Amino acid sequence: MSTFQAPKGTYDLIPPHSATYLAVRDAIAAPVRRAGYGYVETPGFENVELFARGVGESTDIVTKEMYAFETKGGDRLALRPEGTASVLRAALQAGLHKGGNLPVKLWYSGSYYRYERPQKGRYRHFSQVGAEAIGAEDPALDAELVILAHDAYRSLGLRGFRILLNSLGDAKCRPVYRAALQEFLRGLDLDEDTRHRIDVNPLRVLDDKRPAVRSQLADAPLFRDHLCEDCRAYHAQVRELLTAAGIAFEDDPTLVRGLDYYTRTTFEFVHDGLGSQSAVGGGGRYDGLSEMIGGPALPSVGWALGVDRTVLALEAEGITLELPASTDVYAVPLGEEARQVLFAQVTELRRAGVATDLAYGGKGLKNAMKSANRSGARLALVAGERDLAEGLVQLKDLTSGEQRPVALDALVDEVRKALD
């Protein structure tokens, strides 16, 4: 194994490609920030208990995908496989729900870890941006979150995504449906693992992608025929609000999610250009989660969007984001005195908000100009002893090649004008 090899299932973000990731994170965050969500950051690991209880003992995430370990001090921890349980834990710990100002709206962005079989769009370390609205039961919140995710994708120029929508019922109708589904599933020809799943997490069987299982599910009972009156009315309102907002969605009665805690509204954003790892984001309502982790009743709704897959979706649609050049001005000193003077000018330009870089390492003119071109800068500042003796530097437009002398003491203004 090479020393310079990242662990299996991981990859590094490296310039210039990494700029796209940053821009995607910013683009996803922008709509939620405009909608009153405050930034929250939690540790990269938590007590393993939190995920066991909050994500669910019967989920693949907890049983197969979690990086759990014991510390030298004997604490049982896990690298976070998802964000919601941690964010809710943090909100409860800080008592954010006690201020009488519900819902508590939070957004986050960070790294998540799952021990999965690595493939395109599926990694062991990946990045999500998420949003949670904690402590309110209001179909407008569910709709708001779907709209915000939709607008985030659209702001990136994405067109090829679809929104799948379903309701998973509540504490009243879910057990009834679950029992009906279990009875149906027990009559099928299934392998032992799947039969076990019928007992612990039957809804997940609906999510099985294998054709031999899929073909047997055609007549499975659907939740939409088992929703109680409250859940039915709630779902109708979510759908109406989305329709009124001009959001196209598809009802998908088989949509379930990998996490146990979802109730009522469940949605997924899928992109058709991504092959089998098609989910770019997903979320829904999780009214029971707070109590599951030992808190008060706090009906909540949220989503998490995958940054890695969103970047893949951009590639699939052939979209290149228009990113501002990281360097506007590149300074090329010729000689020791020039180096000192330009170094000071570079600092001043940066403080004035101009993205500026300098040729380091005593490069000669030819090499330095090559670096200037490679930096993407629009302007170069070139100065030698003779210019400086007259209080001048040469300002060169790297696109047109035109060059003119500029007085040192007017440099910041002249550069700004030239960049306008």
Residues in contact with ligand ATP by the rule CB under 6 A: 82, 114, 116, 121-123, 126, 128, 257-258, 277, 279-282, 304, 306, 308-309
CA nearest neighbour of 69 among 40, 91, 47: 47
Structure tokens at 290: 């707070």
Least distance from ligand ATP to the Cβ atom of residue 274, Å: 9
Nearest approach, Cβ of residue 28 and Mg ion (Å) = 19
Smallest separation (angstroms) from Mg ion to the CB of 128: 12
Q: Where are the beta strands (DSSP E) in 88-201?
A: 104-113, 125-134, 161-167
C-beta of 202 vs 258, nearer to Mg ion: 258
Rg (alpha carbons) of the chain, rounded to whole number: 27
Residue 126 binding target from ligand ATP, Mg ion, none, CB below 5 to 8 Å by type: ligand ATP
Cα 178 to the center of its chain, rounded Å: 32
Residue 256 Cβ, how far from Mg ion at the closest point, in Å? Answer: 12
Residue 54 near residue 84, CB atoms below 8 Å: yes
Contact predicate 356/305, CB 8 Å: no
Give the nearer residue to ligand ATP in terms of CB position, either 60 or 151: 60
If contact means CB under 5 to 8 A according to the sort of partner, which of ligand ATP, Mg ion, none does residue 24 touch?
A: none
Helix axes 18-34, 139-155, angle to 10 degrees: 150
Q: How far is the CB of 28 from ligand ATP (least distance, A)?
A: 11
Half-sphere exposure for 212 (CA within 13 Å, toward CB):
5
| CB nearer Mg ion, residue 55 or residue 102 | 55
Judged by beta carbon distances under 5 to 8 A according to partner kind, the member of ligand ATP, Mg ion, none in contact with residue 280 is: ligand ATP
Binding mask 238-277 for Mg ion (x = CB under 5 A): --------------------x-------------------
Residue 157 vs 384, nearer CB to ligand ATP: 157
CB closer to Mg ion out of 8 and 209:
209
Residue 31's binding partner out of ligand ATP, Mg ion, none, with CB under 5 to 8 Å set by partner kind:
none
Residue 277 touches which of ligand ATP, Mg ion, none (Cβ within 5-8 Å per kind): ligand ATP
Q: How far is the CB of 139 from ligand ATP (least distance, A)?
A: 21
Q: Which is nearer to ligand ATP, 131 or 408 (CB)?
A: 131
* Residue 139 interaction partner, one of Mg ion, ligand ATP, none, beta carbon < 5-8 Å per kind: none
Q: Which residue is nearest to Mg ion (CB)?
A: 258
d(CA 225, CA 218) in angstroms, rounded, equals: 15
* Encoded tokens for 277: 């790892």
Residue whose CB is nearest to ligand ATP in the complex, by number: 306
Indicate which of ligand ATP, Mg ion, none lies near residue 263 (CB less than 5 to 8 Å, by partner kind): none
130 touches, from ligand ATP, Mg ion, none (C-beta below 5 to 8 Å by class)? none
In the complex, minimum distance from the CB of residue 347 to ligand ATP, in angstroms, rounded to a whole number: 40
Using alpha carbons, select from 268, 262, 267 the residue that is nearest to residue 285: 262
CA distance 146 to 315: 23
Helix (H, G, I), strand (E, B) or coil at 283: strand
Scanning the structure block, which residue is given the tokens 């180096």? 339
Residue number with CB closer to ligand ATP (92 or 280): 280
The pair of three-digit structure tokens given for residue 393, joined into one six-digit string: 């530097």
Sign of CA dihedral 261, 262, 267, 272: positive
H helix runs in 35-173, sequence order: 48-54, 60, 84-94, 139-155
Interaction residues for Mg ion, span 95-154 (CB under 5 A): none
Asked if residue 375 lies in contact with residue 398, where contact means CB atoms within 8 angstroms, the answer is no
CA-to-CA separations, 407 to 318, 329, 376, 392, 412, in angstroms, rounded? 45, 16, 24, 5, 10
CA–CA dist 125, 108 (Å, integer): 16
Which one of Mg ion, ligand ATP, none is in contact with 83 (Cβ closer than 5 to 8 A by kind)?
none
What are the phi and psi torsion angles at 53 (to 5°)? -80, -40
Contact by Cβ (8 Å): 283, 145: yes
| Residue 82 interaction partner, one of Mg ion, ligand ATP, none, beta carbon < 5-8 Å per kind | ligand ATP
Residue 159 or 374: the one with the smaller Cβ distance to ligand ATP is 159
Q: Which is nearer to ligand ATP, 128 or 167 (CB)?
A: 128
C-beta closer to ligand ATP: residue 89 or 309: 309
Q: Which residue ranges make up the site for Mg ion (CB under 5 A)?
A: 258
